[in-house]
Amino acid sequence: MDSSQKTELLKSFILPLMPGSSFSDISEKDNQRGIAVYNDGGGGREISAKVGENEVVVINRTQKFSSLEKKVVEEFLKLTEIFDDIDSKYYSVSVLNNISHVITNSIIDNDSDFKIVNDIIRCLENWAAETYEGANISASVMYDPSKNDEGILKYSSFINADFAKVITNGFDTYVTVNNKYEVCSYSKSEDSDSDNYKVPYRYTSLSKHAIDGKILFILNRNGELLIIKDNELVFAKRRGSWKVFNHDTTIRQIAGGGKTFSEEIRRAVYATCLDVSFARTGGSIGLINKTKQEEALNELLKSEDNINSPGNDKTHFITQFKNSSFSDIDRLFRQEMSGIDGATLLDREGKVISFGAIISIIIEKKVDNETKSEVTGGGRTAASMQLSKYGIGTKISEDGKITVFKNEEEIFSIA
């Protein structure tokens, strides 16, 4: 496998996994220590990947790469080396069919855990394509490498039993697998954790148990596979591709390079974007700069949608949150309200201006050599871009993708 073939495979994997990434051309570099390293002077925003004996490509992104993301690149490059000797026409299918190896090696602490973890991932990937009594399967499995208690039955026997597909629900029940490859317990969890912004709210009841080396695997009814470690969502397989999550860096990026919006507000917005994303309802949230707020309200919002002058039942309903910071509103309610048709608008201090607002989209057209503006209501992309003229616009697609805009330009996307 030559450097150009390895680079193309790397692109096919990394670009969907780490949205916003881009690749440099192949260049020469002598004596690189390691097959994937942070590029000197890149501030964590560049990973130099070794694709030949003295050849590298540099992976760039506006967001800093986490150590986990660097590990993923390293493990992918190791995987490509296994297939060096096969016919080149089989490179892509051989490597991409074994991506679970990359994910597994990126999250395990010991090589001895590889088979168990990889088998759990493979099993849930298969179940994602199956149904039970006509319904999609949801399930949750906790792997505890420190647990060596006597098990109930072998995991290999458990997954071949029909009841295994319905015995857990992916929200508050799970089975634990020990380091002997045995199912050793069935557990129920209670009380979601609204403060954990690194996990979608509906899964925080389970995620709090994924600590001290334990790894939680959740398959939801949308066919999405989530991997949680250290009480943090680290990977998700969605829309046929794996995604890696870098929560704190993303929260910094929501500021759009400025300090207009506090970390508390950005964290609340991010958590709600994550919640809406995995609820698959779609939504849009706009953070409006103080200096542009009056202009934004006049141009974007119908007066009846403003919480300060409610003119319809919906706006009357949300006046209970007048003068409330977005971060102080119950997280589940934020998710439900942000998922209704229209946009959620917040001011610089995070106070709610409107929920479910139909944003006026201003379209400029040339008519008889004159530019004329036309106002219309638009879809989420157009609305989010319009909001970004006055601050930050975020769009959550119904397929789960989160896109953030500033000055009508996409600055990054995740999930």
Separation CA 308–CA 39 (nearest Å): 50
| Arithmetic mean of pLDDT, 274-290 | 95
Fold designation for 110-245: YojJ-like (1 (3.40.1700)
Q: Is the pLDDT of residue 283 over 80?
A: yes
Look up tokens 């048709």; give the residue.
341
Separation CA 384–CA 364 (nearest Å): 17
Phi, psi dihedral angles at 29 (to 5 degrees): -155, 120
CB 47 within 8 A of CB 58: yes
Separation CA 120–CA 82 (nearest Å): 22
Q: What is the pLDDT of residue 253?
A: 86
Q: Is the pLDDT of residue 376 over 70?
A: no
Where helices occur in 212-262 by DSSP H, the ranges are 247-253
* Tokens at 265, concatenated: 């507000």
* Tokens at 33, concatenated: 């220590």
Going by the DSSP 8-state scheme, the letter that residue 65 receives in this structure is: P
318-335 per-position pLDDT tens digit = 888 888 899 999 999 999
Contacts for 308 with CB less than 8 Å, ≥ 6 apart:
322, 353
Q: What is the pTM of this model?
A: 0.92
Q: Is the pLDDT of residue 215 over 80?
A: yes
Closest CA to 284 of 356, 362, 231, 180: 356
* Tokens at 190, concatenated: 């209670």
CB 58 within 8 A of CB 49: yes
Strands across the sheet with 409-414, in order? Answer: 352-357, 343-346, 283-288, 391-396, 402-406, 409-414
| 3-class secondary-structure state, position 113 | helix
Residue 348: pLDDT band with limits 50, 70, 90: very high
Q: What is the pLDDT of residue 379?
A: 83
* Tokens at 132, concatenated: 């039970």
Q: What is the pLDDT of residue 370?
A: 65
Q: Which of 152-161, 194-203, 255-264 has the lowest mean pLDDT?
A: 255-264
Q: How many CA atoms lie within 13 A of 146 on its CB side?
A: 6
Q: Is the pLDDT of residue 375 over 50?
A: no
Q: What is the pLDDT of residue 120?
A: 97
| 3-class secondary-structure state, position 167 | coil
Q: Is the pLDDT of residue 122 over 50?
A: yes
List, in sequence order, every beta strand (DSSP E) within 96-201.
131-132, 135-136, 139-143, 153-154, 173-177, 182-188
182-214 per-position pLDDT tens digit = 999 999 998 999 999 999 999 999 999 999 999
* Tokens at 367, concatenated: 């008519």
Going by the DSSP 8-state scheme, the letter that residue 151 receives in this structure is: P
Q: What is the pLDDT of residue 364?
A: 59
**Percent of the residues in the chain that have a pLDDT greater than 70, as a whole number:** 95
- 248-414 homologous superfamily: DNA integrity scanning protein, DisA, N-terminal domain (3.40.1700.10)
Closest CA to 6 of 37, 36, 46: 36
Separation CA 232–CA 216 (nearest Å): 10
Strand pairing class (131-132; 46-52) = unpaired
Phi, psi dihedral angles at 283 (to 5 degrees): 180, 175
Q: Is the pLDDT of residue 32 over 80?
A: yes
Secondary element (H or E) of residue 303? none
Instruction: Identify the residue with better confidence: 371 or 140.
Output: 140
Q: What is the pLDDT of residue 69?
A: 94
Residue 219 neighbours by CB distance under 10 Å: 25
Phi, psi dihedral angles at 178 (to 5 degrees): -90, 180
Strand pairing class (343-346; 360-367) = unpaired
In the chain, list all ranges with CATH 3.40.1700.10.
110-245, 248-414
Secondary element (H or E) of residue 254? none
Q: Is the pLDDT of residue 144 over 70?
A: yes
